[in-house]
Structure formats: C-alpha cells, structure tokens
Amino acid sequence: MRDASSHPGRASVLYTTEQRIRRDASPWTRVQGVLAIAQFVVFLVSLSLVLRYLGTGIGYEVATLSVVAKTAVLYSIMVTGALWERDVFGQYLFAPAFFWEDVVSMLVIALHTAYLGGLWLGIEPREQMLTALAAYAAYVVNAGQFLRKLRMSRSELVGVRSLSNIGSGIVR
C-alpha cells in the first residue's frame, strides 16, 4: 500500500498510522468539525437570504451581514485548517492527501474576498450578491471534496480495524 504522500490528491491511503495518531491528537481536529458544521448552517441561512434579495430586492442589509458572517467563518476554518494540516502532515497547506481540496479552498477564499472587496468598493448590490453565489457554488464543491475525504477516512479506519481483527484471530 502506498502512503498518503505518494501523489497529490491520489493516494490509496489517506493517512499513515502516524498521521492518524497525530490527527486524533490534534486539538484542531475537533475545531474543524465544529467550524465545518457552523459554516454549513451559516451558508444555508445566507444562501436563502441572498436568493431572497435577488428574487425580491428585499433584505439587502441582512443578506450582506450573512455573507460577511459566512466569510468570517470561512476565514476561521481556513486558518485552523492550516494549523490542523501542519499538525497532521507537517505543512500548513497543500499536503499531498489534501492537495486538491486546498486548491479549491483557495478559489473559495478568493471569491469570498472578492465579495468583500466589492462591498468595500460599493459595487452594485446585485453584482455583490452574484459574487456571493459564485463563492457559495465553489464552497459546495469544496465541501463535497471534504465529505468525500471524511468517508474515505472512515472506510480506511474500518479496513484497519478489520485487518487488526483478522491478525488477532477475531473476525466480525
């Protein structure tokens, strides 16, 4: 079996045994889980407010606040995610096991930051909200990437437990 560092984003094993131990010991693992859920909730609320504004022209201020809140949570999860990646893989970003997730995350950050820039520069509200929707579309792709990795991690763990049970004579 190849380890997670063989090829960017194309590893047959997501975590080596040592990386899994570091992942489980890192305080950022739990922080990432909490922030991911918080970001998704803020995203759903904000998406509905942005769509409401685009559809009716009502609620620009609350939609704007929601996009700013979503962006703040995104920045938080990106900083803590880099700290998590350093703890687990020894580098802040673009570890081979999460290379493509980090690439798309950079696009997500760029689009959210473009929204803030448009807000600061006073770009037309409709254009701001369309930028927010582009950022949200990229976020959905990125969230899907991370959910796929979460499933891979859980499948790996089941495989590791199965192998250890076979090795000890216990088969479940």
Q: Look at residue 143 and tell me whether its pLDDT is greater than 60.
A: yes
Q: Which pTM does this prediction carry?
A: 0.81
DSSP H stretches of helix in 90-124: 99-121
* End-to-end Cα separation, the chain, in angstroms: 23
Residue among 78, 140, 81 at smallest CA distance from 109? 78
Q: Look at residue 8 and tell me whether its pLDDT is greater than 90.
A: no
- In this structure, of 11-20, 37-46, 121-130, 151-160, the range with the lowest mean pLDDT score is 151-160
C-alpha 86/C-alpha 105 separation (Å) is 16
Q: Look at residue 2 and tell me whether its pLDDT is greater than 60.
A: no
| pLDDT digits 0-9 by tens, 13-55 | 889 999 999 999 999 999 999 999 999 999 999 999 999 999 9
* DSSP conformational letter for 14: S
More confident residue, 19 or 165: 19
Angle at 98 between CA 151 and CA 21, to 5 degrees: 70
Structure tokens at 132: 């927010």
| pLDDT digits 0-9 by tens, 65-102 | 999 999 999 999 999 999 999 999 999 999 999 999 99
At residue 51, φ and ψ (nearest 5 deg) are -65, -40
